[in-house]
């Protein structure tokens, strides 16, 4: 099983965290996004969108990080992707993550990391405003539960929480949301989570 990945990418990091927690070994091939490797013909042949992550496992080629995350947990027969109707609730939060949460934080990452030499403050402000809107939804949801879906950890926790690793570099106002903070502390108790060190701009 090979993951085409980049360590700056939160969408890649959610898969690496899930694989580590589920005990699924996964080979990693670095794709240099800063040098445009994602737009080369050999990469476009496995993902015509020109984006990481991409997973290749035998005859299976998958793009879209949340699909890959479920595939990896499923292959490991992990409770992170339970074989029950809870999957629909998990998918609800994965779609929420893809449509709202990741876009808010991703907007800020785009400026602070990928446009670090010339960031657009108006775009950053919009991303932070959107972050506050959706963080309020997540915070209320987590007020009386330990994890995003059901009673235990699932792929949804990894998919959503990975964006909090960018709190410092993106100056996200996460400390305004105490239930999110408590949930993140629970994740930080997990070795597979702690090993996903948040990336720093220009660090690599
Ligand atoms: N919805 C996709 C988003 C993939 C995505 O935006 N990947 C970014 C890195 S996080 C990327 O490859 N950016 C490079 C580019 O767009 O040129 C997923 O969840 O996999």
Which DSSP category does 40 fall into? S
Which H or E element spans position 155? helix 155-161
pLDDT of residue 204: 35
**Which residue minimizes the CA distance to atom 3 of ligand 1?**
64
Q: Quick one: DSSP state of residue 8?
A: T
pLDDT at position 196: 78
Pocket test for ligand 1, best of 4, 11, 113 (most atoms within 8 A of CB): 11
60 beta partners: 57
Cα angle value 51/18/161 (rounded, 5°): 80
What would the mean pLDDT of 179-201 be, rounded to a whole number?
83
pLDDT at 203: 38
For residue 74, give both structure tokens.
């499923």
Question: For residues 49-76, b (16+ Cβ closer than 10 Å) or e, as one string?
Answer: eebbbbbeeeeeebbbbbebbbbbbbbb
Distance (angstroms) between ligand 1 centre and the Cα of 151 equals 30
Average pLDDT over residues 72-76: 98
If you average pLDDT over every residue of the chain, what do you get? 94
- Strand-by-strand arrangement of the 2-5 sheet: 27-30, 2-5, 54-57, 60-63
Rounded Cα gap, residues 23 and 76, in angstroms: 7
102 lines ligand 1 (CB under 6 A): no
Q: How confident is the model at residue 202 (pLDDT cuts 50, 70, 90)?
A: very low
Our answer on whether the CB atom of 11 is closer than 6 Å to any ligand 1 atom is yes
Domains contained in the chain, CATH given = 2-75 (3.40.30.10), 86-194 (1.20.1050.10)
More confident residue, 149 or 191: 149
């Amino acid at each position: 099983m090979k993951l085409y990945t980049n360590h700056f990418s939160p969408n890649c990091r959610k898969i690496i965290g899930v694989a580590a927690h589920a005990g699924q070994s996964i080979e990693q091939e670095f794709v240099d996004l800063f040098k445009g490797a994602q737009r080369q013909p050999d990469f476009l042949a496995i993902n015509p969108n020109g984006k990481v992550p991409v997973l290749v496992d035998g005859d299976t080629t998958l793009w879209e990080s949340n699909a890959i995350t479920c595939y990896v947990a499923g292959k490991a027969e992990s409770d992170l992707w339970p074989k029950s109707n809870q999957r629909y609730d998990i998918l609800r939060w994965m779609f929420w993550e893809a449509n709202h949460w990741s876009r808010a934080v991703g907007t800020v990452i785009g400026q602070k990391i990928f446009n670090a030499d010339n960031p657009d403050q108006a775009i950053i402000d919009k991303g932070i405003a959107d972050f506050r809107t959706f963080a309020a939804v997540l915070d209320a949801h987590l007020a009386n539960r330990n994890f995003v879906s059901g009673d235990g950890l699932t792929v949804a926790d990894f998919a959503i929480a990975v964006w909090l690793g960018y709190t410092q570099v993106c100056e996200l106002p996460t400390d305004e949301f105490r239930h999110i903070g408590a949930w993140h502390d629970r994740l930080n108790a997990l070795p597979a989570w702690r090993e996903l060190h948040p990336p720093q701009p220009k660090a690599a």
